[in-house]
Structures are given as structure tokens and as C-alpha cells.
Amino acid sequence: RENGEVSYLNPIARERIGVPPDAPLDQTRIEQFLSDEQIDRYRREVLPTAIRNGHWRGRAQVRLGGVSLPVDCTVLAHRDFRGRIETVSLIMRDVSAQVQALRERERSEAMLLAVAHTARAQFLVGDTAGRVIFFNAAFAQHRRVELSDWEGRPLAELFGDQDYAARAGLIAAALAGETRRADLADGDARAGRSLEVQYAPLRVQSGNIEGVIGIELDVTDARQEEARLRLASQTDALTQLLN
């Protein structure tokens, strides 16, 4: 009722809060199911809106059987033949599973984002139209750019003509569903730097390709060490002459 008295609970609600099917509801009030904060919102916002418009719909938190649950809630105001509010119905749907799934997804995304931003490798994500979706801190530092300035802008513009030309085939292959790797020369002012790059398709749960993921790692030191060891294996340690 408008004053907060509960006159009816459906069988599912009775089961959730442990009220027998035939038990009277004489002493039951809406305050038993809502926190003080929720009650304040109900009286200040929800009920006036339902009375004014005939209904209200939104998200709420209710206590059922000692457990606090998120619910999608619809509030309906019913009037008698004189137009006065007779009863108020609350229709609630438990969305705790959806909320938990959303939290887990957000946590996973936060973990992946943290890994991406702390990784030494440069990460880049573009959409199917060749526009920037994301790049990590290593990429931003290397290219001296900020993600907020580049979201939605072309990858070709981000890389510049020379660097993009070196990657265009890899990006096209990734958008076609292939993963490609290559060794590229770093195009910035530091001469002689080498990059090991990999571009792969960005697939969503349905399997559709929604973009491309690029991973680029500076392997200059490793390549130089490989060259040193290769040279050492081919020359005499004392004379430096070829074996």
C-alpha cells in the first residue's frame, strides 16, 4: 500500500524470505526489505514518480531471506474509481547473476588492462576500419603520444607513412583472420633498433573479427647478443681470426 504496508507476496517472494504460503502479512512492511537509504529513495523519488506517471522502473537493492540482492524493479500505482491511490505493486526480478557476471568481466578487463599497461611490449588495438581503439603505456611512451588524443583516428596517421607501410600487410592479414609475425626496423630516430612484431585478429565471443591486435617488442639487445655469439663461434678467441 501507499503507506508501506504489505498486503500480498507472491509464492516466490514468500519462499525467498521464508514466509509460509498461508501465513498472514498483518505485520509486514516494505521497510523490512529495504535499507534506510533505499527507503529514503523510495519515498523521495520512486513513489512520487509512480503516483505521478503511473509507474517507475529502475534498479534497487532488497533484503530477502537475510541476503541483499540487486533487482530490476517496476513500481505500479493502482487507483480506485475515484482516482485515489489504492495499492502500489512492486514487481522485482533478481539480477544478481547478471551483476556478478558484469563484475567478473570488469575485473577481468581491469586485470588485462593492468597487464597491458605494465608490459614492456607495445600493445596496439585497432578496429576493422583501421582506427585506433587502444594502445598501452609502452606504446605511448615509445611514440610520444597519448591515447586520449588518438582514439578513433586512423592507424596510418598514428604510425606515419613509412612505419604504416611496413605493417599494412600484417594488419590486412590479421583482419582476414591470420596471425603474422615479422622483424621490422624501428622507424624512430634511434638508428639500428629492431622490433619483433605480431599482428593477430581481435575476435569476440561469437568468433567474429572486430579488429586487430598488434604486439611489438624491441629486440635490439637480443639481436646484438645473438650476433656477438655467432661471431664468437666463428672466430678464434685469442687471434680473432676466422676458424
**Structural domains for the chain:** 11-94 (3.30.450.20), 105-226 (3.30.450.20)
Encode pLDDT of 28-78 as tens digits.
Answer: 888 888 888 888 999 899 999 999 999 999 998 888 767 788 999 999 999
Q: Which three cell numbers stand for residue 131?
A: 582506427
pLDDT in the model for residue 240: 57
| Higher-scoring residue by pLDDT: 229, 159 | 159
pLDDT of residue 223: 58
pLDDT score of 202 = 92
What is the side-by-side order of every strand in the sheet holding 85-94?
55-64, 67-79, 85-94
Tens of pLDDT, residue by residue over 160-211, are 999 999 999 999 999 999 999 999 887 654 556 788 999 999 998 888 999 9
In whole numbers, what is the pLDDT of the chain averaged over residues? 84
Which of the two residues, 84 and 66, has the higher pLDDT score? Answer: 84
To the nearest whole percent, how much of the chain has pLDDT over 90?
Answer: 39
DSSP class of 105: H
Q: What is the pLDDT of residues 14-30, one digit of tens each?
A: 887 778 888 888 888 88
pLDDT at 75: 92
Identity of the residue numbered 35? S
What does the pLDDT average to over 67-95? 88
DSSP 31: G
> Smallest Cα–Cα separation from 26: which of 10, 9, 40?
9
Contact assessment for residue 135 and residue 150, using Cβ atoms and an 8 Å cutoff: yes
Instruction: Say what the pLDDT of residue 189 is.
Output: 44
pLDDT for the residue 169: 96
Query: pTM of the predicted model, to two decimals?
Result: 0.56
- pLDDT given at position 176: 95
Check if the beta carbon of residue 174 is closer than 8 Å to that of residue 212. Answer: yes
